[in-house]
Amino acid sequence: MHRVAVAQGDGIGSEIMDATLAVFKAAGVPIEFVPVEMGLSVWENGVPAGITDEAKQTIEDLGVLFKGPMATPSGKGVKSINVTARKTWNTYANKRIFRTLNGVPRGRYQHPDIDITMVRENIEDTYGAIEHMQTHDVAQCRRLITRPGSEAVVRYAFEVARRKGARRITAGHKANIMKLTDGLFLEVFREVAKEYPDINSDDRIVDAMAMELVMKPNSFDVIVLPNLQGDILSDLCAGLVGGLAYAPSANIGDHIAIFEAVHGTAPDIAGQGLANPTALMLSGCIMLRHLGLMAWADQIEAALEKAHRNCFRAPDLGCTPVPFQTQVFRDLVIEALEPVDLEHTKNIAPALRAPARDTQRMMTSPRAGSETTKGVDLFIDSDATPTHVAEVVNAACPAGMSVVMISNRGTQVWPTGSVFTDCVNHHRVRVESDTVVENAAIYTLAADVSQTLRVCSTEALLQIDNEAQYSLAQGQ
């Protein structure tokens, strides 16, 4: 029998989790659920991460966490408990399945039946949350896309497509604008696609994909995207099948997996018995398949669909001619359960166990080609004009180095530009050299410039085999 860690969640979490576990018990699912402490109450007791050390150890020992929705406390400096859990255990692939359920109203858009699997990168991108106030007017967020991280999620998406028998896998991206970050993600997608010649693969610019998902969603099958874009489009897809109450989610890592409903804690209806447990039940079915318990997953999903046909409408859809009640719906699902076909219960996956480790694993791809530094981008906090900033930095440059460009909010404003380009007090000053630059020279230059202007940060200008690995400014 499998053992799975279970966290009730906040708000409506305990209501929908209790209903889900009652259905699992009635279905005879062969899992022992081990309670762990996570969520708002743990944070309120003085644990900033929102999870006790005992819970963390239990989850790592068992390898699977089934959790209800959890609240993120308001205020600066407080991290999302949900995101922290996904990132701590390197659950790099967020899989969400959007499937039309019989009996669930689809809202305004009446499309044919939908069966879309979306795989979202779950660790990197802007969700690294590496943010700084560069000046009193300018906030910066560093967006990190890595080759190993992209390869892990893309390869997982192709494996999902193969198991699903998908006719198509599509990468969503914004590589037409973010040529290095999204460009790397797309490059990895195309490289991995060559290893799966049996699966048709293509890509779409993410804004065009959003339009196509609304207009003809059933043309998509499996979609893989970077983190932020995947977050946004997964909610769009949820809207196509009735809302987040019908959108299950799984967070998959090499050694630990998290299954959860991604909707909120709904504190306004907590304790009133009005919460819809469908998303959590469906997430539990994904967990069952992850564990090899296919027959029980099929059994519970079939009962869910039958219950929805018998339950007229749900309050989260905005129309309540028949009030939705959590316990009534739970009982409808239990009544609809059919016996499990024991002939299909033999391929149960072995219990997951994370390997023993003394330190974090370093993920790196082989270095290819010669790497050199061409110069540096200095980010300057100054109300001075770009021309004045260029004069100050040029005066500090050693022989062979000079300012070649200044941009403001990504648009070139020096040596050429338009007087109608409004600027803020955050200049990107690009200094290049006639020869290879040593790192020490970059920091010496920054220190010298700092005698006159405030340097917020620096970025070295990397070249690989003499090819620039940094972006141009708009208009450059």
pLDDT band at 362 (very low <50, low <70, confident <90, very high): confident
Report the alpha-carbon distance of residue 73 to residue 282 in Å, rounded: 27
Higher-confidence position of 460 and 110? 460
Q: What is the pLDDT of residue 6?
A: 97
Mean pLDDT in the chain? 90
What integer is the mean pLDDT of 44-73?
90
Going by C-alpha positions, the residue among 395, 288, 208, 422 that lies closest to residue 20 is 288
**Residue 139, burial from CB neighbour count under 10 angstroms (0-12, 13-18, 19+):** exposed
Q: Do 96 and 38 contact (CB within 8 A), yes or no?
A: no
Domain extents for the chain?
A: 1-106+241-365, 113-233, 371-468
| 416-448 tens-digit pLDDT | 999 999 999 999 999 999 999 999 999 999 999
Q: What is the pLDDT of residue 318?
A: 38
Q: What is the pLDDT of residue 252?
A: 96
CATH 3.30.930.10, domain 371-468, yes or no: no
Q: Do 381 and 448 contact (CB within 8 A), yes or no?
A: no
Report the alpha-carbon distance of residue 451 to residue 189 in Å, rounded: 46
Going by C-alpha positions, the residue among 246, 312, 315, 323 that lies closest to residue 281 is 246
The CATH T-level fold of domain 113-233 is Rossmann fold (3.40.50)
What integer is the mean pLDDT of 39-50?
86
Report the alpha-carbon distance of residue 83 to residue 280 in Å, rounded: 18
Supply 29's token pair: 């699912």
What integer is the mean pLDDT of 356-374?
85
Q: What is the pLDDT of residue 317?
A: 38
**Reduced 3-state DSSP string for the chain:** CEEEEEECCCCCHHHHHHHHHHHHHHHCCCEEEEECCECHHHHHCCCCCCECHHHHHHHHHHCEEEECCCCCCCCCCCCCHHHHHHHHCCCCEEEEEEECCCCCCCCCCCCCCCEEEEEEECCCEEEEEEEEECCCCCEEEEEECCHHHHHHHHHHHHHHHHHHCCCCEEEEECCCCCCCHHHHHHHHHHHHHCCCCCCCEEEEEHHHHHHHHHHCHHHCCEEEECHHHHHHHHHHHHHHCCCHHHCEEEEECCCCEEEEECCCCCCCCCCCCCCCCHHHHHHHHHHHHHCCCHHHHHHHHHHHHHHHHHCCCCHHHCCCCCCCCHHHHHHHHHHHCCCCCHHHCCCCCCCCCCCCCCCCCCCCCCCCCCEEEEEEEEEEECCCCHHHHHHHHHHHCCCCEEEEEEEECCEEEECCCCCCCCCCCCEEEEEEECCCCCHHHHHHHHHHHCCCCEEEEEEEEEEECCEECCCCCECC
Longest dimension (CA), the chain: 82
Supply 346's token pair: 């033999």
Q: What is the pLDDT of residue 253?
A: 94
pLDDT band at 319 (very low <50, low <70, confident <90, very high): very low
b/e per residue 54-75 (b: at least 16 CB within 10 A): ebbebbbebbbbbbbbbbbeee
Q: What is the pLDDT of residue 104?
A: 75
Q: What is the pLDDT of residue 437?
A: 92
| 142-159 tens-digit pLDDT | 999 999 999 999 999 999
| 330-345 tens-digit pLDDT | 999 999 999 877 665 5
Q: What is the pLDDT of residue 346?
A: 53
Report the alpha-carbon distance of residue 9 to residue 381 in Å, rounded: 44
Q: What is the pLDDT of residue 315?
A: 45
What integer is the mean pLDDT of 65-70?
95
| 182-231 tens-digit pLDDT | 999 999 999 999 999 999 999 999 999 999 999 999 999 999 999 999 99
> pTM value?
0.89
Q: What is the pLDDT of residue 72?
A: 76
CATH 3.10.180.10, domain 1-106+241-365, yes or no: no
Going by C-alpha positions, the residue among 86, 85, 59 that lies closest to residue 3 is 59
